[in-house]
A and B are shown apart, each in its own frame.
Chain A
Amino acid sequence: MAAGKKTKKTHESINNRLQLVMKSGKFTLGYKTVLRTLRNSKGKLIIISNNCPPLRKSEIEYYAMLAKVGVHHYTGNNNDLGTACGKYFRVSCLSVIDPGDSDIIKTLPGYHAGLCRGLSLHYFHSTKITEF
């Protein structure tokens, strides 16, 4: 499920797209609001930093799998993600509600549709419940 080496060009383009979302779209920052947007199915894309605690990361991915929402693992820690959002604080996870002028949702989740599929397979194998 490795994405492969993230080239500098695509990383910059994600930063640009995030910047556009911050300027023109709707988003929420932070774990609690991310779960809230997933529950009420307003979230369209979730971005998680790479130093998000693994349990929390799995939880967000599970919710996103249930809600059929793409998850993007940002190459950078919460400090970098906060900076990419133009904020002076750390952001571990964020949820894009309305992308505005940005095309971040169109360009990213294709990359993660496979991840979500892989994720649900992973859960199937790990829980070993075949007869439910």
Chain B
Amino acid sequence: MVKFLKPNKVVILLQGRYAGRKAVIVRAFDDGTRDRPYGHCLVAGISKYPSKVIRKDSAKKTAKKSRVKAFVKLVNYQHLMPTRYTLDVDLKDAVSLESLQSRDKKVTAAKDTKKRLEDRFKSGKNRWFFTKLRF
């Protein structure tokens, strides 16, 4: 009886090109909108996970391996698997509904979230979010 599809919840996408990727809910639309008359949410997720870094790697290689590629998407609730984890990253100003209107706005939103997610990855917190889900 507790709403759990709230902002900052980590979810796993089940369908589509990004199936199996972890994402974080930025904004939830429980009752839908006119265009999407079903419950859906705006998620920002990882499209390409950072690779494993070993001790032998040089600084340049570490930097290259720690890159994260992000995506922004509107997803139906039915195509998400919620998890018990949350990710406290402020993405509200980077990602909004209007950033999905045109392609270049989407690209800048993805680049912005990429930067924030990379900073979070390098700080070493929320390590589960940045590991690839094996299936």
Q: B3 and A41: CB pair below 8 A?
A: yes
Given A40-B30, A40-B39, residue A67 in contact with residue B4 (CB < 8 A): yes
The number of chain B residues with a CB under 8 A from chain A is: 17
A 94-123 to B, binary, CB cutoff 8 A, 1 in contact else 0: 000000000000000000000000001001
The number of chain A residues with a CB under 8 A from chain B is: 19
- A63 partner residues in chain B, CB cutoff 8 A: 82
Q: A39 and B1: CB pair below 8 A?
A: no
A93 vs B126: C-alpha distance in the bound complex, in angstroms? 34
- A88 partner residues in chain B, CB cutoff 8 A: none
- A32 partner residues in chain B, CB cutoff 8 A: 78
A97 vs B116: C-alpha distance in the bound complex, in angstroms? 40
- B84 partner residues in chain A, CB cutoff 8 A: 65-66, 120, 123
A39 vs B77: C-alpha distance in the bound complex, in angstroms? 8
Q: B1 and A129: CB pair below 8 A?
A: no
- A43 partner residues in chain B, CB cutoff 8 A: 1
- A123 partner residues in chain B, CB cutoff 8 A: 84
3 tightest A-B CB contacts, nearest first: A66-B4, A68-B2, A41-B3
